[in-house]
């Protein structure tokens, strides 16, 4: 079963809680604070495994939750950091955040890793807060919560060459003739319902990977047929081999077929029209004369790379393979030159992490939200007065108190953060 797109839920590990403890040993007067830090939570890492070909493993398990860090211990012993949760994916996997469709990682080479969900930092124990003014602090931090969100995994096949064209033009037969791949071949449309890969070797020993992609139809870029589902695989290919039924055995016009598929590729991604292309006029064994081939060349243009072949009889396939191998060699040289060019650093504007927003609930409560204040709230142990006072100082230093006063808050009004409530006091 070929699975090339799944949506999964990720939850990295929370950090372990810091501890409030004091050193109490015989012959050690005034031992002082001895609460250890919590361990860091486990991050979720995606890693490429070249032995995988589909995302089938993620079809049946959709939720992944990493382990939290160990809590801090007495005698200044820190909790253990949790080992990262490593998820294996096939080459060509693109990871996107569902919330904003942001691309988080594009994994292509074996062993490549990407930290997608970072584990929470362990909370600090009370020994971390000791100072000359407060030598025995009575507060510690809770662990930082881990990240949680949904991501979409999209697989784009890592093939050098992609066979595209209408259904039943002979793409699977070509792949079967030039490689050891055994795609399903049948005398009906959409015989191929998932991409097939085959390693092809030309007569001079050069090899490359060829993908037989499911047939496209008019409207594929809008989702008609299987097009929208598999057009993404064309994006990875270096060379597009456009297969056309020159015998017009399906009752379609060969020139019109060519222009229709080109239009669908352009509507899906205009960059595909700039990709090197080889046109293959297949099923020449069914022709009574070559006049239709000459007419096709006149309509399309003599500057196009056009090969007349018969996949059924393997006629003229080797010259096609030589040409494709030549184009791949040229593209590899261009990539080497591109890699040697000077890299430019692009700086993106990032939001102020201390930014917050104040709104009103229906019951009149003031609701404060923002990534930093919410994280501070969750890392505060409200069972200890010292921790509550520290939280109040942090709100004041962030400017939240002044912002609430500007909104008209008065003593006794309710302030709400992540469901927690407290009264505002001047």
Binding site for GTP, residues? Answer: 165-172, 190-194, 212-215, 282-285, 310-312
**Whole-angstrom distance, CA of residue 220 vs CA of residue 265:** 9
**Whole-angstrom distance, CA of residue 174 vs CA of residue 212:** 9
Specify which residues 280 forms β-bridges with.
243, 307
Packing angle, helices 171-178 and 317-340, rounded to 10: 90
In a 3-state reduction of DSSP, which class is residue 233? helix
**Which residues are part of a known binding site?**
165-172, 190-194, 212-215, 282-285, 310-312
| In the block, residue with structure tokens 């960059």 | 271
Question: CA 281 → CA 88, 173, 273, 287, 311, distances in Å?
Answer: 40, 13, 19, 11, 10
**Whole-angstrom distance, CA of residue 90 vs CA of residue 96:** 15
The number of helix segments (H) and strand segments (E) in the chain equals: 9, 18
Contact 98, 172 (CB under 8 A): no
In a 3-state reduction of DSSP, which class is residue 324? helix
**Whole-angstrom distance, CA of residue 13 vs CA of residue 81:** 10
Please measure the distance between the N-terminal and C-terminal CA atoms of the chain and give it in whole angstroms: 65
**Whole-angstrom distance, CA of residue 329 vs CA of residue 204:** 13
Question: CA 371 → CA 164, 354, 375, 377, distances in Å?
Answer: 47, 7, 6, 10
**Which residues are part of a known binding site for Mg(2+)?**
172, 192
| Widest pairwise Cα distance in the chain | 107
**Whole-angstrom distance, CA of residue 297 vs CA of residue 322:** 21
Nearest to 9 by CA among 53, 66, 49, 52: 66
Query: What does the angle CA 89 – CA 92 – CA 97 come to, to the nearest 5 degrees?
Result: 75
């Amino acid at each position: 079963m070929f699975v090339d797109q799944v949506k999964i839920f990720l939850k990295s590990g929370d950090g372990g809680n810091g501890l409030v403890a004091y050193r109490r040993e015989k012959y050690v007067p005034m031992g002082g604070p001895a609460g250890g830090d919590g361990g860091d939570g486990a991050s979720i890492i995606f890693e490429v495994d070249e032995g995988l070909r589909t995302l089938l493993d993620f079809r049946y398990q959709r939720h992944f939750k990493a382990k939290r860090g160990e809590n801090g211990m007495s005698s200044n012993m820190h909790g253990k950091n949790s080992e990262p949760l490593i998820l294996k994916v096939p080459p060509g996997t693109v990871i996107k955040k569902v919330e904003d469709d942001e691309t988080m990682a594009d994994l292509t080479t074996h062993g490549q890793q990407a930290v997608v969900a970072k584990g929470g930092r362990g909370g600090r124990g009370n020994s971390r807060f000791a100072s000359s003014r407060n030598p025995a602090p009575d507060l510690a931090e809770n662990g930082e919560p881990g990240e949680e969100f949904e991501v979409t995994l999209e697989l784009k096949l890592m093939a050098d060459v992609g066979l595209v064209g209408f259904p039943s033009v002979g793409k699977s037969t070509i792949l079967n003739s030039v490689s050891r791949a055994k795609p399903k071949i049948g005398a009906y449309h959409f015989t191929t319902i998932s991409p097939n890969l085959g390693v092809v070797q030309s007569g001079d020993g050069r090899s490359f990977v060829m993908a037989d992609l499911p047939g496209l139809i008019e409207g594929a870029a809008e989702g008609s047929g299987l097009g929208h589902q598999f057009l993404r695989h064309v994006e990875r290919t270096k060379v597009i081999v456009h297969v056309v039924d020159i015998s017009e055995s399906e009752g379609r016009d060969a020139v019109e077929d060519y222009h229709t598929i080109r239009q669908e590729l352009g509507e899906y991604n205009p960059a595909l029209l700039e990709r090197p292309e080889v046109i293959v006029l297949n099923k020449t064994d069914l022709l009574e004369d070559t006049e239709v081939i000459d007419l096709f060349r006149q309509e399309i243009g003599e500057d196009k790379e056009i090969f007349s072949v018969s996949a059924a009889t393997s006629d003229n396939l080797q010259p096609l393979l030589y040409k494709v191998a030549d184009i791949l060699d040229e593209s590899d040289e261009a990539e080497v030159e591109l890699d040697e060019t000077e890299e430019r650093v692009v700086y993106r504007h990032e939001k102020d992490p201390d930014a917050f927003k104040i709104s009103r609930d229906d019951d009149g409560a003031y609701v404060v939200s923002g990534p930093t204040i919410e994280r501070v709230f969750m890392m505060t142990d409200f069972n200890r007065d010292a921790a509550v006072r520290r939280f109040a100082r942090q709100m004041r230093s962030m400017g939240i108190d002044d912002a609430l006063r500007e909104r008209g808050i008065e003593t006794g009004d309710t302030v709400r953060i992540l469901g927690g409530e407290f009264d505002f006091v001047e």
